[in-house]
Amino acid sequence: MVKIAPSLLAADFSQLKDEVRSIEEAGADWLHLDIMDGHFVPNLTFGAGLIKALRPHSKLFFDAHLMVTNPEDYVEPLKEAGVEMLTFHIETVTHAHRLVEQIKSAGMQAGIVLNPGTSLSLIDEILPFVDMVLLMSVNPGFGGQKFIPASVEKIRRLKQMITARSLKNLIQVDGGVGIDNGAIVIEAGADVLVAGSAVFGAPNRKEAIAKIRG
């Protein structure tokens, strides 16, 4: 079954503990943690300290998405904070395999992220070494953006790459995902859907998660 990973970025930051508990009770599988540094993307969010404070209050799988220029500096702090999956942008690194090994040596799963304008060819060599590929379906930096329709074909092509090589990478999709397009994203091959306002902004979060999941 496809996993739903609500993005903490869309939560009420004055009530974070209750917000996380709410989506867990509503049926969410993962908590998606968008970490931005104001350099790689034009926004600044939160860091390991906030995640560590939330960790005792949730049994959700913690999935951290690094939108930063120096992802290697975040590995140990995020491991200590309780993160279980750490993804970084292929656009930010020269030695992707080295960083994947660093993440796995710290005891976390490792994922690679591609912006909408980044070719799948850039991850051809690293694909066998990562647990997940995150395809951005909006340009990263801010929540609440509209889904880029061309992302659907990119998901399909990535799924074909994985299948053709008998690999088992999860495909995660992030950006503008909600009730209106969840089904087509899943049909294209996505395994994990990141949904921000579509879940946290819904009057009935349990119903929203169920509808996105299909």
The secondary structure of 136-186 as a DSSP string is ESS-TT-SSPPP-TTHHHHHHHHHHHHHHTT---EEEEESS-STTTHHHHH
Q: Which helix (H) or strand (E) holds 132?
A: strand 132-136
37 as an active site residue: the answer is: no
User: Which residue among 29, 37, 63, 174 is the active-site one?
Assistant: 174
Report how far residue 144's alpha carbon sits from residue 133's, in angstroms, rounded to the nearest whole number: 21
In DSSP terms, 111 is beta-bridged to 87, 132
Report how far residue 161's alpha carbon sits from residue 121's, in angstroms, rounded to the nearest whole number: 10
User: Which residue among 29, 34, 37, 131 is the active-site one?
Assistant: 34
180 as an active site residue: the answer is: no
Catalytic positions are: 34, 174
